[in-house]
Amino acid sequence: MTQKYIEKILRAKVYDVATESPLDYAPALSKRFNNQIYLKREDLQAVFSFKLRGAYNKIVHLSEQEKQQGIIAASAGNHAQGVALSASKLGIKALIVMPETTPEIKVNSVRSWGAKVVLFGDSFDDAYEHALELAEQKQLTFVHPYDDPDVIAGQGTVAMEILRQKTDAIEAIFVPVGGGGLISGIAVYAKFVRPEIKIIGVEPDDADCLNQALKANKRVTLKQVGLFADGVAVKQIGKEPFRLAKNFVDEVVTVNTDEICAAIKDIFDDTRSVSEPAGALAVAGLKKYIEREKVSGQSLVAIESGANINFDRLRYVAERTQVGEHREILLAVSIPEQPGSFLAFCKLLGKRSITEFNYRYFDSGSAQIFAGISSNGIDADKPEIMKQLQDKGFSVTDMTHNELAKEHIRYMVGGHAPCALNEVVYSLQFPERPGALLRFLSALGSQWNISLFHYRNHGAAFGRVLLGVQIEKSEQATLRSCFDALGFVYTEETENPAYQLFTGGQG
């Protein structure tokens, strides 16, 4: 059976539509992790994904009658684009069923290749079942995204290229896993030619169908899957991919959303390309493997499998990246509700940068703040910071791995104050340098009580703060003089309807 797959991979007709993607050395990642790390750049294919390899290889081998009847496929996006491009190249009618949750960029891309699109269900599995029904009703040939020998052989050409591009030592190849077509194709070829190479699958921890199947020694169906890495949001590994994976895949590494986001940034830093979450899975797994095994000096390859990401998702990715790199600590801290408390808190942190500071006055006893603090990326840093604060009497709760806090609460801190505060509100802008926030609070001193504060460091040239101060009207000129002396750009926002409607003091 292995020999049959090797022959199919060697004879696969993928280069009518695909190119031999580069195997790029990643200098920043390599230096940081003390290994030689390479990225197989499947994001550079015509549909920004490896999927066109398997799709075309399957479609081109259909009988003439099957081609004339037309084809149908189910996909979360990248397979759909591969099928649509292949059908367009071969002059075949194509119908694609995609989940309603599919990013718009993928849906539009499929339509641009001339295929008809039906949106159905919330996941790939919903779309898959509907596509099978339509295939029977309309007498269309179903092109499976991963559970098909011709598709698997097409994806296996990725391994063929890697071993041709790098003929010296490779310790491991890291492969993203959805339904298993890519990893089974890569594994069967790589293990036949270079059996010493480890083949390591990488899955999101909320969509780990291969990981669970290998543990159970049989295919299992996940009750639900996370949709962040939509390209691999599959509930059950394919039958044929699982058969091959059991024999040729060495292990599976699972990663969380923050680790995927950090990997997207890593890829960007080395290539200036923006990977989709599924496309960055292999890099996330590679990093986790290095940290777990403490390996150094090895040659490691990660498949950068796709770059079909909606632009509006980048804001979310950027937010989660710092935590994924262990470079941001999120804390809930209780401090006394009195002038100078903010300043005392910041002084305790020393030269560490505060990345976020959310607070709203509630009562005269204590203040609850949500703070983001930059970290040096090592585990020992957080306990040290927390102990430092606790030793000075601050109550501290770690929120770094609290999903509710990261997804929602950090944006909901505040609301209306429960009473009239005699509050004046300013938005301020100042040059963003290390310690800038501490200098700002030091300049304000302790003469006024801060009743509202929001600050978020976005890595831009200028920091922005929303500041509420309990102050008498006669003292407002003194406060503005303080801003002027600091050279800050500021605007009074007390009458701004956004402030009045959502955060103004009630009395």
How many CB atoms are located within 10 Å of the residue 362 CB?
A: 17
481 close to 471: Cβ distance less than 8 angstroms: no
CATH number of 344's domain:
3.40.1020.10
Task: Show the CA angle centred on residue 175, arms to residues 172 and 178, nearest 5°.
Answer: 155
- 20 shares its domain with 167: yes
How many CB atoms are located within 10 Å of the residue 313 CB?
A: 18
Tokens of 392: 């000075």
426 close to 493: Cβ distance less than 8 angstroms: yes
- Which structural domain range is residue 455 located in? 326-502
What does the pLDDT read at residue 443?
Answer: 80
275 is catalytic: no
H, E, C per residue of 287-310: HHHHHHHCCCCCEEEEEECECCCC
End residue of a domain, out of 319, 336, 360: 319
Alpha helices in 116-219 (DSSP H): 124-138, 149-165, 181-193, 209-216
End residue of a domain, out of 287, 319, 351: 319
- 136 shares its domain with 251: no
What does the pLDDT read at residue 473?
Answer: 86
Q: DSSP character for 405?
A: I
- 340 shares its domain with 303: no
42 close to 304: Cβ distance less than 8 angstroms: yes
Amino acid, res. 226: G
What does the pLDDT read at residue 107?
Answer: 87
- Interacting residues of 501 by C-beta distance below 8 A, sequence separation 6+: none
Q: Which of 190, 189, 141, 151 is nearest to 14 (CA)?
A: 151
Of the listed 8, 40, 51, 191, which one is catalytic?
A: 51
What does the pLDDT read at residue 14?
Answer: 96
Tokens of 382: 């957080």
- 290 shares its domain with 183: yes
Tell me how far apart the alpha carbons of residues 342 and 441 are, in angstroms, rounded to a whole number: 7
- 310 shares its domain with 330: no
CATH number of 111's domain:
3.40.50.1100
Q: Is residue 84 part of a domain?
A: yes
- 133 shares its domain with 281: no
- 314 shares its domain with 244: yes
What does the pLDDT read at residue 350?
Answer: 74
Tokens of 322: 């710092």
51 is catalytic: yes
- 355 shares its domain with 483: yes
Q: Is residue 417 part of a domain?
A: yes
- 385 shares its domain with 458: yes
Tens place of pLDDT per residue across the chain (507 aa): 789 999 999 999 999 999 999 999 999 999 999 999 999 999 999 999 999 999 999 999 999 999 999 999 998 778 999 999 999 999 999 999 988 877 777 888 899 999 999 999 877 778 889 999 999 999 999 999 999 999 999 999 999 999 999 999 999 999 999 999 999 999 999 999 999 999 999 999 999 999 999 999 999 999 888 878 988 988 999 999 999 999 999 999 999 998 999 999 999 999 999 999 999 999 999 999 999 999 999 999 999 999 988 787 887 788 778 666 777 788 888 888 778 777 888 888 777 777 777 777 666 677 778 888 877 665 557 888 888 888 888 888 888 877 767 765 666 566 666 666 788 988 887 766 666 777 777 887 778 888 888 776 655 556 678 888 888 888 999 989 888 888 777 889 888 876 776 566 654
- 290 shares its domain with 345: no
Type and span of the H or E element at 2: helix 2-10
Q: Is residue 443 part of a domain?
A: yes
End residue of a domain, out of 142, 176, 201: 142
Q: How far is CA 495 from the centre of its chain?
A: 38
Q: Which of 152, 162, 179 is nearest to 54 (CA)?
A: 152
At 464 the three-state DSSP class reads strand
Number of domains in the chain: 3
Tokens of 157: 């050409």
Please give the order of strands across the beta sheet that includes 172-176: 23-25, 36-41, 299-304, 172-176, 198-204, 251-255
Q: Is residue 415 part of a domain?
A: yes
Please give the order of strands across the beta sheet that includes 423-431: 395-398, 328-336, 366-374, 354-360, 449-456, 462-470, 423-431, 489-492
Please name every residue paired with 354 in a beta bridge, in sequence order, or none if there are none.
Answer: 373
- 64 shares its domain with 34: no
Q: Is residue 507 part of a domain?
A: no
Q: Is residue 294 part of a domain?
A: yes
Of the listed 275, 305, 341, 375, which one is catalytic?
A: 305
- 128 shares its domain with 176: no
